[in-house]
Structure 1
Amino acid sequence: MTRQREQFFQFYEDDFGLSALAGKLASATAPDVVQALESAAEVAADCEGEGAMDLGTDIRYLLDSGLPDETLRAAWLAATHERFDPADFGTDLHGWLTRLAELYPSRPRKRPQVYWPSPPHPEFAEEELREAVVAEIRAAAPELRRALAHSGAGGALPSTVPEALEAIAGQADGETGLRLFLRILKVWAVPVGKEQYDRLMELTSEVGYPGPLVYDGLDIQWLPLDPTRRDRSGDFGISVLSERFATYWEEPTVREAVALAATFDNTAETPGTAAALLFEDAVRLLNSPLSADTLTTLWLAVSDRGLDIDQIDIDGRDWLRLIADVSEERLRDVAPSYTPVVGPVRTALTQPVLEAIDEATPDLATRTVSAHRLGIPGAAAVDAVREVVTHADPDLGYRLFLRLLNVLSVPLTTNQYAGYLALGERFGYGASHVPDVIEHLTYEN
């Protein structure tokens, strides 16, 4: 039997299969066999019944692995937080799994009807996956043993759980072993360092897992909040806020929309990072000599008039103060020990950014932002961006310049695009930052 390689995030929002069943039992109070079977039925019913396929596949891999009952039992008891031991109900682990296998036999997945082609999911060789999962289990083993010992775990001996997980991942199935490993880390509150967390996110992305399957409930040891660190792959700060307002937003009030944006920490970032970056951008502009009119023009241009602050009697400085205030509120909630700061400006890149803007100015100046309604001349918009670069921050100015290229749909040559990518790398932007904003503007696209 070969497990179908899937983009599992297309089917599930969180955990699935045997690890999801273990999670349900771990959160239950003294579940009996009837409750355990009801939980299995809930897992099987997920995704219009597709959950049964993955539950059955997980079970079949364990039964066919030839692993001894004590190995499977150690991992199972750890994954269920010792809440459900089949031995208490007159059967061993193989007997319990066999009963589940009769209810949920392994079968091919029913392919959902799709209306557009989806990119092929890259193959991740089973042997490569097994080695990667075993390596992560070994990396976490010391902390896992400490957590088990500290909790006074009984049936699942602390010294055998990591070895049991290794055996499942290495000899039964890499994916089943990976999900059981993550479940055990969560139910025993095992601290996971940032470096291992990043590796786990990359690994689970390779096999197409939904993000919450990894980070929801995981005790991640986050690094201190530092807005100079670039852990996210895409845009950030006021430039991404402007993009949010340029597209669809449905919050009842403007303040609530900003508050929601301030919560959008990337999965790789310390909680509070999005708010810290918004705060820093807003304060840089507030501390600059740019006039309220210039700041108003700037916002209206880069947001493509997605929020007409000039039509609701908010000038550019009032708008920035609101952004800064909301960001501070978020930081007080999620990172109370952090003191918002504004770091030094990297003026060394001012000239390269100005040169990029000057090169694009002829194309920008002939266009109009929101030409269909209360248009803003492209020349005025690019002048406002140039002032940000010169008098506030070339990093922020460059991000707003990229946004303006997007808003005005300026066509780019492949050489121009390559230059913008290279400048983004000098600022330390994430891999998808520049592509997400302007790649579609290149001639080849």
Structure 2
Amino acid sequence: MARQREQYGILYEGDFGLSALAGKLLSVTDRGPGEAQSLGLACEVAAVAEGEGAVELGVDVRCLLDSPLPDDIIRTAWLAATHGRFDPAECESGVRGWLRRLAERWPEPERKRAPGQWGVRPSIDEEELRTAVVAEIRASAGPLGQRVAQSDHVTLPSGAVAASLEAVTRQGDGDLGLRLFLRVLKVYGVPVGKEQFDRLMALDTALGFPGPLVYDGLNVMWPPIDPLRREAAGDFGLSALSSWFERAWQEDTARERVRRAAAADDSAQTPGSAAALLLADTHRLLDSSLPSETIEVLWLSATGRGYNIDRIGIDARDWLRLIEDVCEEHLRQVAPRYRRAASPPRTDLRDAVLRVVREATPLLADVSISPHWEPIPGTSALAAVEEVVTDVDADLGFRLLLRLLHVASPTLTEEQYGHFQALGRRFGYGEDHVTEALEQLHVTP
């Protein structure tokens, strides 16, 4: 059965379809669930997203029913995905009979909302997808076989699980094969290297999956935290923190706000990286010769006066020390072996950043930050940024410049926007970093 793909990340927060049903069967705490209970849990999967979950469940079932896969292959893949919690072969009607019971409940997998309402559909060639998924299954076949052999839940022949997942992918459906493979990796705690994780996340993006579908519960062998790596898709460090305080925010305290930002690792980052990057920026400013007044202007400008440390009597360096304390507290929890090492400032691109700072002067000449309440002249904010570039770190200075432009919202020409994009690439920033800051500001010629 042909699968009509949607932007699943808009519909679902996590797993869906048969792989989500496998997860629900895993969570049953009493003795192995029977057929009736499996059908009841399937109803819960179908009810997700206001009933849209029935579509993916129905398509998954029909992909298996319409395939030439032998029952023992389907059974092996399913036993592995549920860690032996539910064996469809023990149902009165057998493996395919159980699948038919599911198919009878959702005979016409039609969406309740109009096609295209969920945005642009993911486009990936089915054969390309199947080839990529099979490659990942084979990459994990060895450690997967070892983990299965060590399991005391169900006895499966050596290599049978990887072979069954590959068959489901090749003869059933690449999408379903990938999701069952991910479920099996998590069930058996199979270690996944960072390079393979990045490939799996690339498939996640190509298919429009919700990110947690891949990374939640996956045993990723993360490399050590390294603040010099640029793995986040968007902003990071102090410039990213300032966006958490932009304009009105009332739901938590300032300390809690920093704590949330410090814990906001990108899915491609080693846990603790966001805190380490923020800590590195904080120390650069604390250890610098910049006056506290300059740091204050930087913070107030980058947040658009979203958190007025001047009005509540917080010295800028005291504010940085609070940020430092929160970051170190978070790192003790998630990466207790991490030890901050002073990293040299970026000097190779200092002149290039100074050029774009000075080119931005006309853009901010008549602009005020927070114009309706204790305004900060745009030129004063830009002068503070220039001090960071010259005396602290060109990387941090450029990121603060991007934040300042985002807050001030001047109009950029296509050529100016291109200069910022090019410089962002030279710094190794993620693909969304400059785009998220400036895309709405530039105009085409």
After TM superposition, is the score higher than 0.5? yes
Using the size of structure 1 for normalisation, the TM-score is 0.96
Tell me the residue number matched to 2:418.
Answer: 418
Q: CA deviation at 1:122?
A: 3.8
Q: 8 Å contact 2:91–2:98 — kept in the other structure?
A: no
Tell me the residue number matched to 2:200.
Answer: 200
Q: CA deviation at 1:118?
A: 5.7
Q: Distance in 1 between matches of 2:178 and 2:203?
A: 9
Q: Distance in 1 between matches of 2:170 and 2:201?
A: 20
Tell me the residue number matched to 1:273.
Answer: 273
Tell me the residue number matched to 2:83.
Answer: 81
Structure 1's 196 and 282: CA in aligned 2 closer, same or farther, altered over 3 A? same
SS at structure 1 position matched to 2:268:
coil
Q: 8 Å contact 1:239–1:302 — kept in the other structure?
A: yes
Letter in 1 for 2:261: A
Using the size of structure 2 for normalisation, the TM-score is 0.96
Tell me the residue number matched to 1:284.
Answer: 284
Question: 1:61 and 2:63 equivalent?
Answer: yes
Q: Distance in 2 between matches of 1:222 and 1:249?
A: 33
Question: 1:369 and 2:336 equivalent?
Answer: no
Tell me the residue number matched to 2:389.
Answer: 389
Q: Distance in 1 between matches of 2:362 and 2:3?
A: 56
Q: Which of 25, 36, 39 is residue 37 of structure 1 equivalent to?
A: 39
Q: Which of 92, 95, 111 is residue 94 of structure 2 equivalent to?
A: 92
Tell me the residue number matched to 2:131.
Answer: 131
Per-residue CA deviations over 1:68-88 (Å, capped at 9, x if unaligned) read: 111111101001100111333
Q: Distance in 2 between matches of 1:25 and 1:156?
A: 19
SS at structure 2 position matched to 1:238:
helix
Letter in 1 for 2:405: L
Tell me the residue number matched to 2:215.
Answer: 215
The two structures, once aligned, show a CA RMSD in angstroms of 1.6
Per-residue CA deviations over 1:257-296 (Å, capped at 9, x if unaligned) read: 1111111000000000110011010110000001111111
Q: CA deviation at 1:110?
A: 2.1
More deviation, 422-431/245-254: 245-254
Q: 8 Å contact 1:262–1:275 — kept in the other structure?
A: yes
Identical positions, percent: 55
Q: CA deviation at 1:105?
A: 2.1
Q: CA deviation at 1:112?
A: 5.3
Q: Distance in 1 between matches of 2:273 and 2:441?
A: 29
Q: 8 Å contact 2:7–2:120 — kept in the other structure?
A: no
Runs of 4+ in 1 over 6 A off after TM superposition: none
Q: 8 Å contact 2:10–2:118 — kept in the other structure?
A: no
SS at structure 2 position matched to 1:36:
helix
Q: 8 Å contact 2:7–2:122 — kept in the other structure?
A: no
Stretches of structure 2 that go unaligned for 5 or more consecutive residues are none
Structure 1's 119 and 58: CA in aligned 2 closer, same or farther, altered over 3 A? closer
Tell me the residue number matched to 2:179.
Answer: 179
Q: 8 Å contact 1:57–1:106 — kept in the other structure?
A: no
Q: Distance in 2 between matches of 1:202 and 1:252?
A: 34
Within 5 Å, give how 1:10-409 maps onto structure 2. 10-28=10-28, 29=30, 30-111=32-113, 119-152=119-152, 154-409=154-409
Structure 1's 207 and 113: CA in aligned 2 closer, same or farther, altered over 3 A? closer
Q: Distance in 2 between matches of 1:200 and 1:249?
A: 35
Q: Distance in 2 between matches of 1:119 and 1:84?
A: 36
